[in-house]
Chain A
């Protein structure tokens, strides 16, 4: 599979630089997301996942290594990915419709009328018809996250980075949102890099999973999820699902107790 987004040998240290290799927060991290592939990163909290995202987004520069998009070097450059943060980060003074077109607006390249039309169409498609001119604070947590996801989906960047987008939701809403995202992704097939704490969430949604190690952050193991698409909830009971879940759990447990 042709890599869409690729991280090559990324290293990052904070504080006093050049004081030995043990100071590295992220060490020799390499991973990729293929065209139209759903890839998850899973690891204990504090394993530098958000630092990785900030580097992909261009907010931080790695000390060494490079980040490639379609083979082009985008290290330290902003505006090449679309992004769904953990907290919805909808602007409270913008209506749902205005929030949905925000990322398009920032990236440019589409007329206001065109982008609004597209946003309206998508809002209706995900069951948010009638909420176009509502302010985000009247929406439920799940609805807010749907708008945040649409905002990223509609922006022109091809790679979507999702940073624990369901982390702040309650368990039921979370499962609902996973099914929703799975269905939507299977229709749109964007290249997705998805960060999560939840092993089940990663297995349910992903084509591949990178299990991260802690201190320094790196790839502990790469797991290929063997289930066919479109997927249903039946895979949750699948023997292979249960085996992989136990396997990832033991990997992460080792990491935490270290």
Chain B
């Protein structure tokens, strides 16, 4: 088996080159066209601003991280629980699937101010928002995995007399793990956005809050530093999940279809 880290380095360079190209052309365009900094800052302006306001930026980043790191695991856990309960108890699935979809149709920008009215400006309403955006991709992906469980393997387990519980624990649950991980990857990136949007709509700290203040005072360079931080946070989250997935799923999950 290949070392995953060497693999990442080998396959990782085309996107890195693409990003560098885009940043370089951005930098050059801003310089050549003499665009004002308050209108559109260049990448170097953004980085310089980020460094000079680092202590403040870091404070807001940790505040956002705090919300994410509480909300995201709760969201994942809630998603897995809901998917499992719905899978094991069909009437519950029947009753609640429409509600689940509705929960995703209510815009967060409507909910977040309501949560502030109900729960105040603190952490709690933000964490609810993060949980709300995180759990749904988990429910969908996990449910798909549980339902898609290979028929051949399922029939085999029934033929050898496996109980409902054994089929769930020994077959359906491990079968749905790769599906779960695709959901977790989506949720991980959503968790950053969820936290920022919740802060945007009313908070006393955090990247979203900092973004609003900067935007209102026409400090677009600061707005962009926050954007950079958000992108980096999302990438780190994604990379961490991929790493965990590599550690958990050691088998070849594509081999299932051939074995059925």
Contacts and interface: CB of A to CB of B under 8 A. Distances in A.
B252 A135 contact: yes
Contacts of A72: none
Contact of A57 (B158, B166, B251): B158
A58 B160 CA distance: 9
Given A91-B171, A91-B174, A92-B253, A57 B159 contact: yes
Contacts of B155: 59, 85, 89
B162 interface: yes
Interface string A75-104: 000111111010111111110000000110
A88 B155 CA distance: 12
Interface string A152-183: 00010000010000000000000000000000
A83 B159 contact: yes
B3 interface: no
A91 to B, nearest CB: 7
A59 B158 contact: yes
A90 B252 CA distance: 13
B153 interface: yes
A79 B259 contact: no
B30 to A, nearest CB: 51
B77 interface: no
Contacts of A155: 160
A155 B162 CA distance: 12
A103 B160 CA distance: 7
A24 to B, nearest CB: 23
A89 B161 contact: no
A250 interface: no
Interface string B227-256: 000000000000000000000011111011
A107 interface: yes
Contacts of B174: 91, 93
Nearest to B173: A93
Contact of B259 (A53, A80, A83, A92): A92
B251 A106 contact: no
A221 interface: no
Nearest to A103: B160
A137 B258 contact: yes
Contact of B153 (A58, A91, A106, A161): A91
B157 interface: yes
B160 A135 contact: no
A144 B158 CA distance: 20
A102 B170 contact: yes
A78 B255 contact: no
A186 to B, nearest CB: 25
A11 interface: no
Contacts of B256: 92
A136 B159 contact: no
B158 A92 contact: no
Interface of B: 152-153, 155-162, 166, 170-171, 174-175, 177, 249-253, 255-256, 258-260
Interface of A: 53-54, 57-59, 78-83, 85, 87-94, 102-103, 105-107, 135-137, 144, 155, 161
A-B pairs with the 5 shortest C-beta distances? A79-B161, A137-B255, A89-B156, A57-B159, A78-B161
Given A87-B259, A93-B175, 20 more contacts: A57-B159, A78-B161, A79-B160, A83-B159, A87-B260, A89-B156, A89-B259, A91-B153, A92-B251, A92-B256, A94-B251, A102-B170, A105-B170, A106-B157, A107-B160, A107-B161, A135-B252, A136-B255, A137-B252, A155-B160
